[in-house]
């Protein structure tokens, strides 16, 4: 008999490795992305391609430089997922270089410079998003209105053309595309509300705009629901725990409710906050990033709830219309502290006083 191989127990594994986890998360993004395509055009698909390619290439380059096992690291799909998450966060028609800069920043600066997967303190996609938002505010807020409201029809070729040249094949600029039937530039619902509120209008006046359908942003509602479906799949597949998304949504809802009760003309309704912007997507796909989130169950609840609270507070008083990225990054910094104070009681130990 040849040499017997020896190893430490367990000799068994459930067969789900990091790559499998990341692939499931990417698959769970599909419903949301499809909804985005339906309501906001093909841009998101192009962005996904650009971001994933850029992220993976950046990862390969760095990993080669660090002389690690490149194949093994690429196969953990973490770079691809970071790229994808960035792609679904940025405006679908943002110029290609936005996507590339963001992806490279996410991988090189936020992830690899901190030591690679598992060592990064911040969520790479969100850190990149924040960087882009601060550096290129115009491009990063140039969201198209839902296709049902735009004047121009918009094809896949138009999307590619716009992303790479800034103009559609017919020569329309993004600004022109954003114009509604009435010729007024349209923004995202939250953006619109922010602008209106700053100009002294009330929430009730703001949501009369075309992009709102009652209080629901057209398209945004459906996209949120699609991401919710993906998120539920993730929880069912035991890829993520329910703690962070649920506590985050509840935290946001409670904060929004309190503000709404205080002054309903200055603060949007909880419902409005819930389905507009990237709250749902963030709750299931962003805040649950394992590397940068809290790791104990109690800690996850605190982490999620505080993100929810921050989102509403920043939306209410901050300069930016949406706040998921900021809130997540803020709470990433609090993770070590949260983890330290939420250690679970070990079997056979008494509760520490």
Partner 1 sequence: MTFTLLAILAFAILALCFGALLGYAAIKFKVQSDPLVDQIDQILPQTQCGQCGYPGCRPYAEAIANGDEINKCPPGGDATIKELADLMGVDAKPLDAAHGIEDVKKVAYIREDECIGCTKCIQACPVDAILGAAKHMHTVIIDECTGCDLCVDPCPVDCIDMVPLASSSQTWQWNFENMTVGDIPVKQV
Partner 2 sequence: MFADFDLVMEKLATKNLWDFPGGVHPHGYKTLSNTSPIANVSLPEKLYIPVKQHIGVDSELIVNVGDYVKAGQALTQSHSPFAVPIHASSSGKVVDISNHVAAHASGLSEKTVVIELDGLDAQYELHPLLDYTKYEKTDIVEAICQAGISGMGGAGFPTHLKSNSNKPVEFLIINGVECEPYISADDRLMREHAWQIRQGIDVLVHLLAPKQVIIAVEDNKPDALETMSIACQQQENYQVVSIPTKYPAGGEKQLIQVLTSREVPSNGLPIDVGCLMYNVGTCFAIADAIIEGKPLTKRVVTLTGKALNKPQNVWALIGTPVSHLLKHAEYSPTEQTYPRIIMGGPMMGFTLSSVQVPVVKTTNCLLSPSEGELPNIEDERACIRCSACADACPVSLLPQQMFWYSKAKEYETAEEYNLFDCIECGACAYVCPSEIPLVHYYRIAKSEISQQKIEKEKAEKAKIRFETRNDRLLKEKKAREEKHRLAAEARQQAMKSDTNAKDKIAAALARAKAKKAAQHADADTSVVPADTKVDDKKAKIAAAIARASAKKAAAAKKTTQNTSENAPTSTNVNAETPEVKAKNNESESAEDKKKAKIAAAIARAKAKKAKAKETKNNDE
* Interaction site with partner 2 (CB under 8 A): 1-18, 20-21, 69, 72-73, 76, 78, 116-119, 241, 290-293, 295-297, 339, 343-349
Pairing of strands 212-213, 216-217: antiparallel
- Say which entry of partner 2, partner 1, none residue 130 contacts (CB below 5 to 8 A, set by partner kind): none
Q: How far is the CB of 77 from partner 2 (least distance, A)?
A: 11
Tell me the H-state helices in 179-242: 189-198, 203-206, 220-236
Task: Pick between residue 3 and residue 12 the one whose CB is nearest to partner 1.
Answer: 3
Distance from C-alpha of 149 to C-alpha of 190, rounded to nearest angstrom: 17
State whether the Cα torsion 169-170-172-177 is positive or negative.
Answer: negative
- Say which entry of partner 2, partner 1, none residue 76 contacts (CB below 5 to 8 A, set by partner kind): partner 2
Distance from C-alpha of 181 to C-alpha of 151, rounded to nearest angstrom: 5
Q: How far is the CB of 119 from partner 2 (least distance, A)?
A: 7
State whether the Cα torsion 339-340-344-348 is positive or negative.
Answer: positive
- Say which entry of partner 2, partner 1, none residue 117 contacts (CB below 5 to 8 A, set by partner kind): partner 2
- Say which entry of partner 1, partner 2, none residue 80 contacts (CB below 5 to 8 A, set by partner kind): none
Q: How far is the CB of 295 from partner 2 (least distance, A)?
A: 4
Q: How far is the CB of 8 from partner 1 (least distance, A)?
A: 6
Distance from C-alpha of 320 to C-alpha of 332, rounded to nearest angstrom: 19
Q: Could you give the 3-state DSSP secondary structure of residue 216?
A: strand
Task: Pick between residue 17 and residue 263 the one whose CB is nearest to partner 1.
Answer: 17
- Say which entry of partner 1, partner 2, none residue 295 contacts (CB below 5 to 8 A, set by partner kind): partner 2
- Say which entry of partner 2, partner 1, none residue 241 contacts (CB below 5 to 8 A, set by partner kind): partner 2
Q: Could you give the 3-state DSSP secondary structure of residue 217?
A: strand
- Range in contact with partner 1 (rule: CB under 8 A) among 2-10, 150-158, 169-177, 271-279: 2-10
350 touching partner 1, by CB under 8 A: no
- Say which entry of partner 2, partner 1, none residue 13 contacts (CB below 5 to 8 A, set by partner kind): partner 2
67 touching partner 1, by CB under 8 A: no
- Range in contact with partner 1 (rule: CB under 8 A) among 1-9, 106-114, 205-213, 337-345: 1-9
Burial class of residue 209, CB neighbours in 10 A (0-12, 13-18, 19+): middle
User: Residue 212 is inside which H or E element, if any?
Assistant: strand 212-213
Distance from C-alpha of 92 to C-alpha of 223, rounded to nearest angstrom: 13
Task: Pick between residue 7 and residue 351 the one whose CB is nearest to partner 1.
Answer: 7
Q: How far is the CB of 68 from partner 1 (least distance, A)?
A: 9
Q: Could you give the 3-state DSSP secondary structure of residue 180?
A: strand
For partner 1, the binding residues in 4-23 under the rule CB under 8 A are: 4-8
Q: How far is the CB of 333 from partner 2 (least distance, A)?
A: 15
Give the angle subtended at the CA of 101 by the CAs of 97 and 104, to the nearest 5°: 135
Q: Per DSSP, what are the bridge partners of residue 216?
A: 213
The phi-psi region of residue 15 (left if phi > 0; otherwise alpha if psi is between -120 and 50; otherwise beta) is: left
Q: How far is the CB of 67 from partner 1 (least distance, A)?
A: 13
Distances (CA, A) of 138 to 10, 90, 187: 54, 12, 12
Q: How far is the CB of 7 from partner 1 (least distance, A)?
A: 6
Residues of this chain that bind partner 1 (CB under 8 A):
3-8
């Amino acid at each position: 008999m040849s040499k017997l191989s020896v190893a430490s127990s367990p000799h068994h594994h459930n067969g789900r490795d990091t790559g499998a986890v990341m692939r499931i998360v990417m698959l769970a993004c599909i419903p949301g992305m499809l909804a985005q395509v339906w309501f906001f055009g093909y841009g998101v698909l192009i962005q996904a391609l650009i971001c994933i390619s850029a992220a993976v290439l950046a990862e390969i380059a760095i990993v080669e430089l660090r002389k690690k096992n490149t194949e093994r690291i690429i196969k953990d799909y973490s770079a691809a997922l970071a790229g994808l998450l960035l792609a679904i966060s940025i405006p679908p028609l943002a110029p290609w270089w936005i996507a590339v800069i963001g992806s490279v920043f996410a991988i090189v600066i936020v992830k690899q410079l901190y030591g690679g997967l598992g060592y990064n303190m911040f969520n790479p996609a969100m850190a990149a998003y924040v960087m882009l938002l601060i550096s290129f505010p115009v491009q990063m807020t140039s969201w198209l209105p839902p296709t049902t409201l735009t004047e121009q029809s918009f094809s896949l070729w138009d999307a590619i053309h716009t992303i790479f040249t800034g103009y559609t094949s017919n020569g329309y600029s993004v600004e022109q595309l954003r114009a509604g039937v009435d010729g007024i530039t349209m923004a995202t619902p939250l953006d619109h509300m922010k602008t209106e509120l700053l100009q002294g209008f009330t929430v009730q006046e703001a949501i009369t705009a075309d992009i709102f359908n009652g209080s629901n942003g057209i398209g945004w509602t459906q996209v949120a629901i699609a991401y919710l479906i993906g998120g539920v799949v993730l929880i069912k597949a035991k890829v993520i725990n329910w703690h962070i998304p649920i506590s985050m949504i509840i935290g946001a809802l409670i904060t929004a409710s309190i503000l709404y009760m205080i002054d309903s003309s200055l603060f949007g309704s909880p419902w409005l906050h819930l389905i507009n912007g990237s709250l749902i997507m963030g709750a299931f796909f962003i805040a649950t990033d394992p590397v940068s989130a809290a790791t104990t169950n109690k800690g996850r609840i605190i982490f999620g709830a505080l993100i929810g609270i921050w989102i509403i507070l920043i939306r209410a008083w901050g300069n930016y219309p949406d706040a998921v990225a900021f809130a997540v990054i803020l709470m990433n910094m609090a993770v070590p502290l949260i983890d330290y104070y939420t250690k679970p009681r070990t079997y056979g130990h008494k509760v520490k006083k």
